Amino acid sequence: MDKKFALYGCGKAGLSVALALKSQGYEVVGCDSRSLNSKEMGSQWLACPMIKIPEEVKENIPIMIGVSEDAIPDVDLLIGKGEYVSGRVVFHLSGALPSRSLNRCRLSGAKVGSLHPLMILPDPLTGARNLRNATFAIEGREQAVAVLKEMALSISGKFFIIPVKGKTIYHIAAVNASNNLVALLAESMYLLEVAGVPRSETGKAFQSLVEITVKNFYSEGPVQVLTGPVERGNLKMVEAHLRTLSKLPKSKEIYRILCLRALEIAGEKHPDRKKIYDELEKLLK
């Protein structure tokens, strides 16, 4: 396979992935964007010509769409012209939208796909470096998937394939692993402050605990690493926690839902504790 592609959309995601591919021997044949400033910036970052996509992209060269989710439908209509995309791989980098969101391209005969890196991309250079350790989620038509697998293998060697119907659930999982993890840690800091610890000391109070927990989670798995009052079946302590949180309804709901999830994991770890776990479930529900 020729290691070439064209980029439409020169934001952080598009430039990060394009730079990562370029560092692995791929050629960016050209870039395009909806604004001239963005197009010029992409040309400078990638040292590639500014072109008109799809008209000026030779046959069989894939087109990467690196725009935001909201812009994908408009870009799809803009570039999904049958005489230029028929038979060509066209893919986007969205984690939330499936490849079929490129509906105009698909109906025009393009082999559509999506390539989403599970990684933070704060800027093109840092993003390109971070991608060396990223796992890529791939979804789409068979021809597109083959091309995207080669790209993922070139950058980091790590990828998995998602069925089209699973794309939204996949994105929720990614949100939980990153965005909602931040929210959960912020909730822990908030409760520490409510407990009377000065705000200046709450920031790093749990850092070592969190880092060790995450490390153990990935080395041993959730069943083995789970500890705490739920896992121990400490009904009185969980009851005291819920009572204390009665004046903090949002925090109580977060605690309740997470404890119910922990209870499911605990049930796998200690099937012999079903009786006490059933009592805990009634308390939490």
> Would you state the pLDDT for residue 239?
97
**Residue 235 reports pLDDT greater than 80:** yes
Residue 226, class by beta-carbon neighbours within 10 Å (0-12 exposed, 13-18 middle, 19+ buried)? buried
What confidence category does residue 177 fall into, taking pLDDT thresholds of 50, 70 and 90?
very high
Question: Mean pLDDT across the stretch 216-220?
Answer: 96
Cα 79 to chain centroid distance, Å, stands at: 26
> Would you state the pLDDT for residue 126?
97
Fold of 4-166: Rossmann fold (3.40.50)
- Residue 117 contacts residue 17 (beta carbons within 8 Å): yes
> Would you state the pLDDT for residue 217?
96
Per-residue pLDDT of 140-156, as tens digits, reads: 999 999 999 999 999 99
> Would you state the pLDDT for residue 81?
84
Separation between Cα atoms, residue 1 and residue 60, nearest integer Å: 10
**Residue 1 reports pLDDT greater than 80:** no
Residue 90 pairs in a beta bridge with 63, 112
Query: Pick the residue with more confidence: 170 or 199?
Result: 170
**Residue 238 reports pLDDT greater than 90:** yes
**Residue 202 reports pLDDT greater than 90:** no
What is the Rg, in whole angstroms, of the alpha carbon atoms belonging to the chain?
24
Residues sharing a CB contact under 8 Å with residue 99, sequence separation 6 or more, in sequence order: 91, 92, 106, 112, 113, 114, 139, 140, 141, 144, 164
Q: Structure pTM?
A: 0.89
> Would you state the pLDDT for residue 82?
82
Residue with tokens 């028929």: 86
Per-residue pLDDT of 80-113, as tens digits, reads: 988 999 999 999 999 999 999 999 999 999 999 9
> Would you state the pLDDT for residue 78?
95
Per-residue pLDDT of 245-281, as tens digits, reads: 999 999 999 999 999 999 999 999 999 999 999 999 9
Where in the chain are the domains?
4-166, 177-284
**Residue 62 reports pLDDT greater than 70:** yes
